[in-house]
């Protein structure tokens, strides 16, 4: 079996990865669709700060040793000649060359309320 | 880590920014120390996380993809898949991280975040959360057992034995559907096999067919009746015409010249390769008998090789196994091509066959597993124990059930 991986269009966009320790949970439970994660700011020195709920996370931007490809599986319709209806293929929709990593312990934010 | 649910405040961008900056101040970050753009990071709706997979590529692979090349995953359902360019093969394995990797198409990083001007609230989306990614490990030496099996399904025995059926005949593209490797590496392996292309299919040349053709050519050379055909002086065109007259496929000549001849100083003139031709005759004899008395074998071998050739024991490396018993010396067919490719399985089989081996005897049966003598040394250290008996180093299995 042969499954091709190729670029669609004429370029591969560059995406970004935000890396967080552990897993993410929603305070409401269930589906994460559309939910806000937090806000991302950058200090003038280039340090990223992520506010998630009542925590502040301080991180850094890292260039990946090896870039990542982002693949999306796609079922293609073959034209009349082929006996197969669908031949699986992967599109490489993006590459990731850098990530924003938050590894230090979150600093809790105590509000007045 | 908890994510807050959307509240009415979020829809008012100014209020949201104010809240974000309030939190930053509480976290001891002065907003005036920040670049202008703060981004609200949200999950996409709908969130189709599992649609996306991450694969570690090296820089060159990514460049090739960016230039529009296609790379191909090959393997059957039961295989560990491999990723192939036209020249390289990589084994694909899934790796896991304990961290969450949030994939964002539009998040601004330090390179493109808006730095100057009034502080404002931007937005970006996370389309997938991943904790697994695919890792690649280059495969320099392809496994050849499946390729050999496929080629052995329908060897070529000569036109008189061919039928119209194309069943079990494979072109290079047919082979790529089933064998795990890049096209270039596959063709390199095929060059080392007695295979040639006939009517677009890659066909294994049956041993008896090769024998017949070689014997006919040697007879013609020894009779001296044809110009351009003597054992030391084979004119390329004369060889081509000879085999054509013998109804061999055109590509047979290419194989013959490559596998059984060597070049001379004169262009387009080759000679029969003594080692390869003698090995062929040794194989012919050994295939006929299970175990040969050495003296009988030697006599027969000397008689059947071409007149100007002299057999040498070293020609039998990786082909025949010589047993020096207390009173009797024998030889039997033991080709390296028939041995397992997995190193542990190979050593197990070798030690079942013979509990202790000298380095010189074992080495020809390990050459195809390594790319240098140093690598062979590594394999021996890893899979064998050694003892020294009478000044001679002997290798035996690490598994005590194989002791003599």
pLDDT tens-digit profile, chain A (113 residues): 899 999 988 899 999 999 998 876 655 556 889 999 999 999 999 999 999 988 899 999 999 999 999 999 986 554 445 555 467 899 999 999 999 999 877 888 877 65
- Rg of chain B's alpha carbons, rounded to an integer? 33
Q: Is the pLDDT of residue B12 over 50?
A: yes
Name the nearest CA neighbour of A55 among B43, B3, B31. B3
Q: What's the start-to-end Cα distance of chain A, in Å?
A: 61
- Rounded to an integer, what distance in angstroms lies between the CA atom of residue B302 and that of residue B59? 57
- Give the model's pLDDT for residue B126: 96
- Give the three-state DSSP class for B360: helix
- Rounded to an integer, what distance in angstroms lies between the CA atom of residue B219 and that of residue B224? 9
Contacts of A32 in chain B (CB under 8 A): 3, 43, 47, 129
pLDDT band at residue B399 under the 50/70/90 scheme: confident
How many Å lie between the alpha carbon of B190 and the closest alpha carbon of chain A?
A: 20
Name the nearest CA neighbour of B346 among B153, B143, B91, B179. B143
- Give the three-state DSSP class for A31: coil
Q: How many C-beta atoms lie closer than 10 Å to residue B334's C-beta?
A: 18
Q: Tokens representing B174?
A: 């047919």
Name the nearest CA neighbour of B273 among B284, B293, B258. B258
- Give the model's pLDDT for residue B3: 59
- Residue B370 is given by DSSP the state -
Give the pLDDT confidence of B372-397 residue by residue, as tens digits.
Answer: 999 999 999 999 999 998 888 899 99
- Give the three-state DSSP class for B354: coil
How many Å lie between the alpha carbon of A88 and the closest alpha carbon of chain B?
A: 11
Q: Tokens representing A57?
A: 């996370």
Q: Is the pLDDT of residue B10 over 90?
A: no
Residues A81/B30, Cβ–Cβ less than 8 Å: no
Share of chain B above pLDDT 70, in %: 96
Tokens 């024991």 — which residue?
Answer: B313
- Rounded to an integer, what distance in angstroms lies between the CA atom of residue B365 and that of residue B315? 14
Where does residue A79 fall: left (phi above 0), alpha (psi -120 to 50 degrees), or beta otherwise? beta
How many Å lie between the alpha carbon of B91 and the closest alpha carbon of chain A?
A: 14
- Give the model's pLDDT for residue A79: 46
Residues B276/B260, Cβ–Cβ less than 8 Å: yes
Residues 30-59 of B with CB under 8 A from A: 33-35, 37-47, 51-59
Reported ipTM: the value is 0.89
A82-86, B146-150, B252-256: least confidently modelled range = A82-86
DSSP sequence for B296-325: HHHHHHHHHS-TT----GGGGTTTEEEEE-
Q: A44 and B34: CB-CB below 8 Å?
A: yes
Nearest to A109 among B26, B47, B83 (CB): B26
- Rounded to an integer, what distance in angstroms lies between the CA atom of residue B19 and that of residue A41? 13
* Average pLDDT of the residues in B267-271: 93
- Give the three-state DSSP class for B358: strand
Q: B43 and A35: CB-CB below 8 Å?
A: yes
Q: Tokens representing A23?
A: 């897993």
How many Å lie between the alpha carbon of A15 and the closest alpha carbon of chain B?
A: 5
Q: Is the pLDDT of residue B369 over 80?
A: yes
Residues B65/B71, Cβ–Cβ less than 8 Å: yes
Q: Tokens representing B383?
A: 């899979």
- Give the model's pLDDT for residue B1: 56
Give the pLDDT confidence of B233-249 residue by residue, as tens digits.
Answer: 999 999 999 999 999 99
Q: Tokens representing B254?
A: 């290419």
E strands in B205-242: 229-230, 233-235
Q: How many C-beta atoms lie closer than 10 Å to residue A39's C-beta?
A: 23
Phi, psi of B358 (to 5 degrees): -80, 155
Q: B39 and A40: CB-CB below 8 Å?
A: yes
User: Chain-wide mean pLDDT for chain B?
Assistant: 92
Residues B76/B177, Cβ–Cβ less than 8 Å: no
Q: How many C-beta atoms lie closer than 10 Å to residue B5's C-beta?
A: 11
- Rounded to an integer, what distance in angstroms lies between the CA atom of residue B65 and that of residue A8? 10
Q: How many C-beta atoms lie closer than 10 Å to residue B169's C-beta?
A: 19
Name the nearest CA neighbour of B363 among B344, B348, B350, B353. B350
Give the pLDDT confidence of B306-324 residue by residue, as tens digits.
Answer: 999 999 999 999 999 999 9
Alpha-helical runs (H) found in B179-267: 183-191, 207-223, 236-245, 250-260
* Average pLDDT of the residues in B13-37: 90
State which H helix or E strand residue B281 sits in. Answer: helix B274-288
Q: Is the pLDDT of residue B55 over 50?
A: yes
Residues 166-185 of B with CB under 8 A from A: 176-177
Q: A53 and B4: CB-CB below 8 Å?
A: yes
Residues A96/A44, Cβ–Cβ less than 8 Å: no
């Amino acid at each position: 079996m042969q499954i091709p991986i190729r670029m669609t269009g004429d370029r591969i966009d560059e995406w970004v990865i935000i890396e967080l320790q552990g897993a993410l949970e929603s305070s409401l439970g269930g589906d994460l669709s559309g939910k806000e994660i937090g806000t991302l700011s950058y200090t003038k020195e280039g340090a990223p700060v992520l506010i998630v709920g009542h925590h502040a996370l301080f991180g850094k931007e890292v260039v990946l040793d090896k870039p990542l490809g982002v693949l999306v599986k796609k079922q293609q319709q073959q034209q009349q000649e082929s006996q197969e209806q669908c031949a699986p293929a992967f599109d490489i929709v993006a590459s990731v060359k850098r990530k924003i990593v938050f590894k230090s312990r979150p600093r809790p934010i105590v509000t007045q309320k | 880590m908890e994510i807050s649910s959307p509240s009415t405040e979020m829809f008012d961008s100014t209020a949201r920014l104010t809240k974000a900056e309030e939190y930053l101040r509480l976290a001891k970050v002065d907003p005036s120390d920040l670049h202008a753009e703060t981004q609200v990071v949200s999950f996409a709706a709908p969130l189709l996380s599992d649609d996306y997979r991450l694969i570690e590529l090296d820089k060159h692979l990514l460049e090739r993809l960016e230039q529009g090349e296609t790379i191909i995953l090959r393997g059957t359902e039961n295989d560990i898949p491999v990723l192939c360019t036209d020249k390289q093969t990589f084994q694909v394995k899934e790796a896991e991280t304990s961290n969450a990797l949030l994939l964002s198409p539009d998040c601004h990083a330090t390179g493109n975040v808006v730095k100057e001007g009034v502080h404002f609230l931007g937005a970006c989306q996370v389309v997938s959360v991943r904790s697994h990614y695919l890792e690649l490990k280059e495969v320099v030496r392809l496994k050849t057992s499946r390729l050999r099996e496929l080629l052995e399904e329908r060897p070529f025995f000569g036109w008189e034995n061919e039928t119209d059926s194309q069943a079990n005949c494979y072109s290079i593209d047919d082979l790529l559907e089933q064998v795990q490797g890049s096209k270039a590496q596959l063709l390199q392996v095929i060059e080392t096999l007695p295979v040639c292309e006939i009517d677009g299919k890659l066909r294994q040349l049956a041993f008896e067919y090769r024998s017949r053709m070689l014997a006919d050519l040697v007879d013609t050379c020894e009779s001296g009746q044809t110009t351009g055909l003597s054992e030391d002086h084979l004119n390329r065109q004369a060889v081509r015409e000879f085999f054509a007259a013998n109804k061999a496929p055109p590509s047979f000549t290419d194989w013959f010249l490559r596998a059984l001849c060597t070049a001379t100083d004169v262009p387009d003139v080759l000679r029969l390769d003594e080692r390869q031709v003698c090995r062929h005759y040794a194989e012919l004899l050994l295939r006929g008998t299970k175990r040969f008395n050495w003296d009988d074998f030697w006599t027969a071998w000397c008689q059947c090789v071409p007149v100007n050739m002299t057999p040498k024991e070293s020609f039998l490396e990786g082909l025949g196994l010589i047993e020096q018993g207390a009173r009797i010396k024998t030889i039997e067919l033991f080709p390296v091509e028939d041995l397992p490719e997995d190193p542990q399985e190979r050593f197990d089989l070798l030690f079942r066959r013979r509990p202790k081996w000298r380095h010189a005897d074992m080495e020809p049966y390990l050459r195809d597993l390594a790319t240098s003598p140093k690598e062979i040394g590594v394999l021996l250290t890893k899979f064998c124990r050694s003892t020294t008996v009478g000044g001679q180093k002997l290798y035996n299995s690490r598994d005590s059930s194989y002791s003599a």
